[in-house]
């Protein structure tokens, strides 16, 4: 598989260095991403030196050095700004510094210094910066803004005062390998936003309150932002406000119309039958069902489900009792949902052969996390006509209360 690398001068002296990671299957070793992902580093070149913002995964470190070398000598780097130490952005740091002769200052938040040392066993020259501090490098004033928990505690953003460019690292990024570099194409943006939603839900969803808090912080600084240049995905120059507003909308749990997430687990098809009744009723009442089915034929990735959960209007969970508890895949999924997703109204469907447990256990877990349990329909065996009526009534109530 050939490696696709894009090097683009975005503004005079400011370059995007993007590698398309078509090898990765599971982001963070957890989340299934068949759409893959990009790693975006940035290079600012001026008369008095150059600044590298972030980097690539370790496996692509030599490629990054080669790309930098096509613009300037890596030895002329004066600063490397590490916004976030997670290795998909900092993995190339040791080799970049080696190619530089360890001449450059590593600019980072104080929390980052011991992390870099423990990850890479290196002791470069550090310049540890405070929130709001400015440095002058490559002929530009660079303002460093501490944005903790987006999504580690050391995370910063850079604002290039003269260029009016915000470099936010993981924030305002997304999965996938967009067909273009910029947000100039409406169709590309439409294709891309679902991967942003999935990225926010899986990677930063646990820290959603910090998304809101840090966006408010940026707004309070009244920065004049002409370009948002994140570490994954599209660079936003036509409408940089769109991606910031979209992140906030996701963090606040705003629904995408009448989308209802329906997730069913079924060992032998009986609960699947009940879930199909619920889907039919959702659609009959004007909702749009985003449906996922766990059974003996398919097991959808949790990443896709959580991506659809974050902007759903409500959720329907259907599971049989399993070993006096909840069908394990649905139980595990709910553990992730309560961590990653803003609370939503929920309808629970449970089935059992001799003793029920699903309704009680899922209700307790979801309610403890602030989810509103609109109803729970539990039945023995396969759903009867009366059970089907109760399911339809539960769906109607769910839509009325969401």
3-state secondary structure of 227: strand
Span 46-60, pLDDT tens digits: 999 999 999 999 999
Mean pLDDT of 372-394: 98
Span 182-226, pLDDT tens digits: 999 999 999 999 999 999 999 999 999 999 999 999 999 999 999
Whether 2 has a pLDDT exceeding 90, the answer reads: no
What percent of the chain is predicted at pLDDT more than 90? 100
**Per the structure, how many domains does the chain have?**
2
Q: Distance of CA 268 to CAs 141, 262, 277, 377, 389, Å?
A: 63, 18, 16, 19, 22
Identify whether residues 208 and 345 lie together within a single domain: no
Identify whether residues 265 and 202 lie together within a single domain: no
Residue 121: which residues within 8 A CB-CB, separation 6 or more?
none
CATH code for the domain of 338: 3.40.50.360
d(CA 191, CA 60): 26
Mean pLDDT of 230-253: 98
Of the residues 210, 227, 251, the one at which a domain ends: 251
Identify whether residues 173 and 309 lie together within a single domain: no
Span 11-65, pLDDT tens digits: 999 999 999 999 999 999 999 999 999 999 999 999 999 999 999 999 999 999 9
Whether 345 has a pLDDT exceeding 80, the answer reads: yes
Identify whether residues 76 and 158 lie together within a single domain: yes
Whether 402 has a pLDDT exceeding 80, the answer reads: yes
Identify whether residues 125 and 199 lie together within a single domain: yes
Identify whether residues 230 and 278 lie together within a single domain: no
The residues with which 351 forms a beta bridge, in sequence order, are 320, 379
Residue 296, domain extent: 260-400
Sign of CA dihedral 189, 191, 197, 200: negative
Of the residues 251, 270, 291, the one at which a domain ends: 251
d(CA 374, CA 381): 23
Identify whether residues 144 and 204 lie together within a single domain: yes
Residue 135 pLDDT: 98
Identify whether residues 27 and 56 lie together within a single domain: yes
Whether 358 has a pLDDT exceeding 70, the answer reads: yes
Is residue 21 within 8 A of residue 34, CB to CB? The reply is no
Span 158-188, pLDDT tens digits: 999 999 999 999 999 999 999 999 999 999 9
Identify whether residues 237 and 297 lie together within a single domain: no
Span 246-291, pLDDT tens digits: 999 999 999 999 999 999 999 999 999 999 999 999 999 999 999 9
Stated pTM of the model:
0.96
Tell me what the pLDDT averaged over the chain comes to: 97
The residues with which 79 forms a beta bridge, in sequence order, are 51, 105
Identify whether residues 32 and 53 lie together within a single domain: yes
Residue 304 pLDDT: 98
Categorize the per-residue pLDDT at 1 as very low, low, confident or very high, splitting at 50, 70 and 90.
Answer: low
CATH code for the domain of 96: 3.60.15.10
Whether 91 has a pLDDT exceeding 90, the answer reads: yes
Identify whether residues 20 and 151 lie together within a single domain: yes
Mean pLDDT of 313-327: 97
Is residue 92 within 8 A of residue 54, CB to CB? The reply is no
Of the residues 251, 284, 316, the one at which a domain ends: 251
Identify whether residues 120 and 67 lie together within a single domain: yes
Is residue 218 within 8 A of residue 241, CB to CB? The reply is no
């Amino acid at each position: 598989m050939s490696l696709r690398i894009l090097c683009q001068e975005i503004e005079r002296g400011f370059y995007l260095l993007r590698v398309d990671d078509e090898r990765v299957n599971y982001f963070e070793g957890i989340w299934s991403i068949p759409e893959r992902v990009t790693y975006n580093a940035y290079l600012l070149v001026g008369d008095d030196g150059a600044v590298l913002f972030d980097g690539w995964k370790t496996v692509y470190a030599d490629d990054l050095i080669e790309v930098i070398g096509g613009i300037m000598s890596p030895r002329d780097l004066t600063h490397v700004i590490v916004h976030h130490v997670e290795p998909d952005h900092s993995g190339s740091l040791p080799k970049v510094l080696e190619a530089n002769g360890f001449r450059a200052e590593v600019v980072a938040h104080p929390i980052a210094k011991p992390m870099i040392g423990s990850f890479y066993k290196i002791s470069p020259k550090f310049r540890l910066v405070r929130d709001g501090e400015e440095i002058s490098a490559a002929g530009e004033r660079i303002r460093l803004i501490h944005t903790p928990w987006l999504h580690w505690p050391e995370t910063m953003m850079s604002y290039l005062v003269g260029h009016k460019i915000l470099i936010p690292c993981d924030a305002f990024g997304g999965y996938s390998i967009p067909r273009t570099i910029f947000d100039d194409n409406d169709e590309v943006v439409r294709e891309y936003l679902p991967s942003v939603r999935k990225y926010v839900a899986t990677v930063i969803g646990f820290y959603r309150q910090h998304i809101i808090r840090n966006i408010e912080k940026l707004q309070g600084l009244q920065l004049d932002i002409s370009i948002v240049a994140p570490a994954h995905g599209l660079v936003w120059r036509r409408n940089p406000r769109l991606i910031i507003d979209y992140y906030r909308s996701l963090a606040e749990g705003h629904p995408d119309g009448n989308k209802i997430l329906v997730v069913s687990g079924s060992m032998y098809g009986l609960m699947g039958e009940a879930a199909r009744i619920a889907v039919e009723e959702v659609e009959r009442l004007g909702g749009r069902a985003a449906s996922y089915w766990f059974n003996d034929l398919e097991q959808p990735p949790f990443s896709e489900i959580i991506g659809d959960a974050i902007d759903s209007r409500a959720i329907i969970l259907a599971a049989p009792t399993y070993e006096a508890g909840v069908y394990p895949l649905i139980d595990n999924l709910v553990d992730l949902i309560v961590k990653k997703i803003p609370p939503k109204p929920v309808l629970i469907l449970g089935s059992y052969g001799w003793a029920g447990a699903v309704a009680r256990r899922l209700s307790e877990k979801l309610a403890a996390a602030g989810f509103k349990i609109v109803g729970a329909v539990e039945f023995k065996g396969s759903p009867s006509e009366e059970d089907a009526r109760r399911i339809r009534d539960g769906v109607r109530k769910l839509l009325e209360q969401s």
